[in-house]
C-alpha cells in the first residue's frame, strides 16, 4: 500500500506541475476516499514545506464519496463545478413492465462487465421509486449510452442528464447503540457488531474515514454531524450521545445512509 501511495503522490504532483506550466486546470479520474486522502495528505505536506498544491474536489453532486480532483494553476484560480469533466447517466428501463429494481451491485457489475476501469465511474445512486443513475468521466459517456444495454435481467436505455438537474437527498435509517466509551474504536465496534480489537484493526488499516479523511486514532472522539464511512459496513452520520445506560455505557444516536 505504501508503494501505491508513493505512485499516487507522484502522479498528483505531476498533474499539479502540468497545470502550473500550462496555466489551465488538469483533472484526475475518479478517486475513492483512500486516494482522496492521499491527495489531501500530499497537499498538507506541500504546505508544511512552504509550497502549495491548489486542488478542488468534486464528484458531480454535494456529498459524493468518489470525486475527481482538479489541479489548479495557482491558488487564486477560480473554477466552477460545471467545468469538471463529469457526466451523469440515468439508467432507464427499456420496458418498465418487466423491469426489476436495480441495486448498486447490479449496476457496478454491468459496468465492469463492459471492461470499464473503476476509476472511470463515480458514485452510483439507487433510490426507491426513481431510475438509478451513475456518474462517469465525460469521455466515457458516449460509450456507456451506446454499449450498456442490460443490467442484471433488465434491458436498459441509458441517457445523459444535466448535472444541474440532479437533486440528491439521502435516505437514512435511524439507530442507537450502547458503547463502552466515547472513543472511536468503541463506537465502530458497537455499530458494526464486531470486537473492539477488530474495530481497532479497521482504524489502523485506514479503512475508517471521518468526514472523508482517513482516521487512525482509536481514541478519536466524534462530534455531532460527523460523517463516518467504514469499509465493508457502510456510511453513517453521527448525531451525538443520548445519555447513558444504568451500567454507565454511552448511548450513541446515528443514522445509516441507505
Confidence (pLDDT) at 128:
84
Q: Which helix (H) or strand (E) holds 257?
A: strand 250-257
Minimum mean pLDDT among 22-26, 41-45, 112-116: which range? Answer: 41-45
| pLDDT at residue 102 greater than cutoff 70 | yes
193 contacts 204 by C-beta, under 8 angstroms = no
Q: Where in the chain is the domain with CATH 3.10.290.10?
A: 172-257
CA angle 184, 226, 135 (to 5 degrees): 115
Secondary structure of residue 91 in the 3-state scheme? strand
Residue 198 half-sphere exposure, CB side, CA atoms within 13 Å?
12
Confidence (pLDDT) at 231:
94
Radius of gyration of the chain (CA): 20
Per the DSSP assignment, residues forming a β-bridge with 55 are 71
| pLDDT at residue 166 greater than cutoff 60 | yes
pLDDT band of 48, cuts 50, 70, 90? confident
| pLDDT at residue 1 greater than cutoff 70 | no
d(CA 171, CA 128): 10
Q: Where in the chain is the domain with CATH 3.30.1370.160?
A: 2-83
Query: Domain 172-257 is in which class?
Result: alpha beta
Q: Where in the chain is the domain with CATH 3.30.70.330?
A: 86-165
Interval 214-239 mean pLDDT: 95
Interval 49-77 mean pLDDT: 94
CATH architecture of 2-83: 2-Layer Sandwich (3.30)
| pLDDT at residue 29 greater than cutoff 60 | yes
Q: Mean pLDDT highest for which of 14-18, 43-47, 241-245?
A: 14-18
| pLDDT at residue 227 greater than cutoff 70 | yes
Confidence (pLDDT) at 6:
93
Homologous superfamily, domain 86-165:
RRM (RNA recognition motif) domain (3.30.70.330)
Can you count the helices (H) and strands (E) in the chain? 6, 14
Confidence (pLDDT) at 167:
81
| pLDDT at residue 127 greater than cutoff 90 | no
Confidence (pLDDT) at 168:
84
DSSP string, 199-222: HHHHHHTT-EEETTEE---TT-B-
| pLDDT at residue 213 greater than cutoff 90 | yes
pLDDT band of 55, cuts 50, 70, 90? very high
68 contacts 27 by C-beta, under 8 angstroms = yes
% of the chain surpassing 70 pLDDT: 100
Minimum mean pLDDT among 15-19, 167-171, 193-197: which range? Answer: 167-171
In the block, which residue shows the cell 501511495? 5
DSSP string, 216-231: --TT-B--TT-EEEET
Minimum mean pLDDT among 6-10, 47-51, 242-246: which range? Answer: 47-51
Amino acid at each position: 500500500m505504501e508503494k501505491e501511495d508513493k505512485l499516487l503522490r507522484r502522479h498528483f504532483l505531476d498533474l499539479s506541475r502540468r497545470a502550473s506550466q500550462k496555466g489551465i486546470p488538469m483533472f484526475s479520474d475518479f478517486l475513492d476516499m483512500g486516494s482522496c486522502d492521499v491527495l489531501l495528505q500530499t497537499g498538507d505536506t506541500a504546505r508544511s514545506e512552504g509550497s502549495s498544491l491548489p486542488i478542488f474536489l468534486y464528484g458531480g453532486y454535494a456529498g459524493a464519496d468518489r470525486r475527481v480532483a482538479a489541479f489548479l494553476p495557482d491558488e487564486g484560480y477560480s473554477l466552477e463545478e460545471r467545468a469538471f469533466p463529469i457526466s451523469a447517466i440515468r439508467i432507464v428501463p427499456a420496458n418498465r413492465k418487466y423491469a426489476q429494481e436495480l441495486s448498486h451491485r447490479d449496476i457496478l457489475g454491468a459496468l465492469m462487465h463492459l471492461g470499464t476501469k473503476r476509476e472511470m465511474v463515480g458514485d452510483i445512486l439507487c433510490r426507491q421509486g426513481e431510475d438509478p443513475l451513475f456518474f462517469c468521466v465525460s469521455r466515457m459517456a458516449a460509450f456507456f449510452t451506446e454499449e450498456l444495454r442490460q443490467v442484471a435481467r433488465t434491458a436498459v436505455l441509458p441517457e445523459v442528464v444535466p448535472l444541474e438537474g440532479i437533486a440528491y437527498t439521502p435516505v437514512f435509517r435511524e439507530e442507537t447503540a450502547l458503547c463502552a466509551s466515547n472513543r472511536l474504536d468503541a463506537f465502530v465496534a458497537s455499530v458494526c457488531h464486531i470486537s473492539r480489537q477488530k474495530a481497532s484493526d479497521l482504524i489502523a488499516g485506514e479503512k475508517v474515514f471521518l468526514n472523508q479523511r482517513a482516521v487512525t486514532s482509536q481514541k478519536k472522539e466524534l462530534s455531532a454531524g460527523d460523517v463516518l464511512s467504514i469499509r465493508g459496513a457502510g456510511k453513517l452520520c453521527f448525531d451525538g450521545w443520548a445519555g447513558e445506560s444504568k451500567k454507565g455505557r454511552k448511548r450513541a444516536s446515528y443514522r445509516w445512509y441507505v
